[in-house]
């Protein structure tokens, strides 16, 4: 077996974040150095707690969990309880966590880890607004040249946005942090709504989780059932899009995705299109390519990977 890839997961759980974290915990291809929480779907006090709930569900109390930024760099925090419920993890009945939260700030942990580990060995998987990463770059710009890669769920181009007609939630919440990340020269893969909107939960896919003889499978079914109801109503589809696990899936099985290396720019000026991800898919500008942007995902392959891995958890 090849050596596992050291990763830091930055997240704002969120039911789909929960499945992404569980997929990572179940994958021996990863060495999880830490999980950093950020404000996003719900406020920070809940996202950090939710990360610990998920680790405890998978019986991984050894994982180091850090709390990061409680608000975006410049703008006011926007949350999404209308999608994820009051706790951010509505659906299953998960007990209050007892494992500790690390005392170090997430931004310090990110900077210290990237600076102390060998150059270009650590990958960042981001599942929420990019505030922690933007702040880490502002605090220690030298991390940019030392990060192996960032794989980020965010944006939407052909598909448009999901919080405004132009913007996807993660980028909209902290567009300034997203712009810093996008312009830092770090190898970046963006998994936008164009791909994640193809990864629909369906009654059949949820049933596969419910029937698992472990406790993580049925918990995933309960998370997904709660999570899908909002987007099912909005888009009139059977099931809702499962965004964040696509980040881990890209690292585990890139062949599931169609992508292109293109120029990506983030809109931070116009309030009308704030947080829009402008993707030069057709090479119309002379701006140099700076990101691999996914356009589609093999949904059957993604759910097969998820079921295979979640079945291995407690
Ligand atoms: C993204 O926003 C959040 O609601 C989800 O967890 C996902 O990261 C999708 O736009
Ligand atoms: Ca998320």
Which ligand number lies closest to the CA of residue 80? 1
Q: Which residue among 40, 82, 167 has the greatest number of ligand 1 atoms within 8 angstroms of its CB, and so is best to mutate?
A: 40
The predicted pLDDT at position 1 comes to 61
Distance CA 305, CA 252 (A): 9
Which ligand number lies closest to the CA of residue 196? 1
The DSSP-derived string for 294-311 is EEEE-HHHHHHHHHHHHT
How far does residue 281's CA lie from ligand 1's centre (Å)?
Answer: 23
Cα 13 from chain centroid (whole Å): 9
Which ligand number lies closest to the CA of residue 21? 2
**Which residue is closest in CA terms to ligand 1's atom 10?**
169
For CA atoms 159, 165, 169, 175, the dihedral sign is positive
Q: Is 85 helix (H, G, I), strand (E, B) or coil?
A: coil
Whether 233 shows a pLDDT value over 90: the answer reads no
* Residue given tokens 């830092």 in the structure block: 184
Calculate ∠ Cα 47-52-53, nearest 5°: 90
- Which positions are catalytic? 243
245-288 pLDDT per residue, tens: 999 999 999 999 999 999 999 999 999 999 999 999 999 999 99
- Whole-angstrom CA distances from 280 to 61, 267, 276 are 43, 13, 13
Q: Which is more confidently placed, 229 or 5?
A: 5
In ligand 1, which atom is closest to the CA atom of 244? 8
Distance CA 92, CA 167 (A): 30
Distance CA 108, CA 96 (A): 26
In ligand 1, which atom is closest to the CA atom of 80? 4
For CA atoms 250, 254, 258, 262, the dihedral sign is positive
How far does residue 128's CA lie from ligand 1's centre (Å)?
Answer: 6
Mean of the per-residue pLDDT values of the chain: 97
Q: Do the Cβ atoms of 314 and 214 come closer than 8 Å? A: yes
How far does residue 116's CA lie from ligand 1's centre (Å)?
Answer: 31
Cβ-count burial of 191 within 10 angstroms (0-12 exposed, 13-18 middle, 19+ buried)? buried
Q: For 5-310, CATH number?
A: 3.90.245.10
- Helix runs in 140-211, H state only: 169-173, 175-182, 193-196, 203-210
Cα 210 from chain centroid (whole Å): 23
Q: Which tokens is 136 given?
A: 């880490």
Q: Domain segments of the chain: what residues?
A: 5-310
Distance CA 300, CA 251 (A): 17
* Parallel, antiparallel or unpaired: strands 277-279 and 188-191: unpaired
Could you count the other beta carbons within 10 Å of the beta carbon of residue 199? 28
Q: Is 6 helix (H, G, I), strand (E, B) or coil?
A: strand
The predicted pLDDT at position 266 comes to 98
Q: Is 261 helix (H, G, I), strand (E, B) or coil?
A: strand
* Residue given tokens 């760099």 in the structure block: 73
* Residue ranges around ligand 1 (CB below 6 Å): 14, 16-17, 41, 80, 83, 127-128, 153, 162, 168-170, 243-244
In ligand 1, which atom is closest to the CA atom of 13? 6
* Residue given tokens 């993707």 in the structure block: 279
In ligand 1, which atom is closest to the CA atom of 128? 8
How far does residue 83's CA lie from ligand 1's centre (Å)?
Answer: 9
* Residue given tokens 């292109």 in the structure block: 260
Model confidence band, residue 234 (pLDDT cutoffs 50, 70, 90): confident
How far does residue 248's CA lie from ligand 1's centre (Å)?
Answer: 14
181-213 pLDDT per residue, tens: 999 999 999 999 999 999 999 999 999 999 999
Q: Which tokens is 259 given?
A: 């992508």
Whether 140 shows a pLDDT value over 80: the answer reads yes
Whether 169 shows a pLDDT value over 90: the answer reads yes
């Amino acid at each position: 077996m090849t050596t596992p890839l050291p990763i830091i997961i930055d997240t704002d759980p969120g039911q789909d974040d929960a499945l992404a974290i569980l997929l990572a915990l179940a994958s021996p291809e990863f060495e999880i150095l830490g999980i950093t929480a950020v404000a996003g779907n719900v406020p920070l006090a809940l996202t950090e707690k939710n990360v610990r709930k998920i680790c405890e569900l998978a019986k991984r109390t050894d994982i180091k969990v850090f709390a990061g930024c409680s608000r975006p760099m410049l703008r006011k925090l926007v949350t999404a309880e209308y999608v994820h419920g009051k706790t951010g993890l509505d659906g299953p009945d998960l007990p209050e966590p007892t494992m500790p939260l690390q005392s170090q700030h997430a931004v310090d942990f990110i900077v210290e880890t990237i600076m102390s580990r060998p150059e270009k060995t650590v990958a960042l998987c981001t599942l929420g607004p990019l505030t922690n990463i933007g702040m880490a770059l502002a605090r220690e710009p030298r991390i940019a040249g030392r990060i192996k890669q960032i794989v980020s769920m965010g944006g939407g181009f052909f598909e448009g946005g999901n919080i405004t007609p132009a913007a996807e939630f993660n980028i909209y919440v902290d567009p300034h942090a997203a712009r810093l990340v996008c312009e830092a020269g770090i190898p970046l893969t963006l998994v936008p709504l164009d791909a994640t909107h193809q990864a629909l939960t369906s009654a059949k896919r949820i049933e596969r989780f419910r029937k698992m003889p472990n406790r993580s499978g049925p918990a995933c079914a309960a998370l997904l059932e709660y999570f899908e109801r909002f987007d099912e109503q909005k888009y009139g589809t059977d099931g809702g899009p499962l965004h964040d696990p696509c980040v881990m899936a890209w690292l585990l099985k890139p062949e599931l995705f169609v992508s292109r290396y293109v120029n990506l720019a983030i809109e931070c000026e116009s309030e009308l299109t704030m947080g829009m991800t402008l993707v030069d898919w057709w090479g119309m500008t002379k701006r140099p390519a700076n990101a691999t942007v996914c356009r589609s995902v093999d949904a059957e392959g993604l759910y097969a990977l998820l079921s295979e891995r979640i079945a291995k958890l407690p």
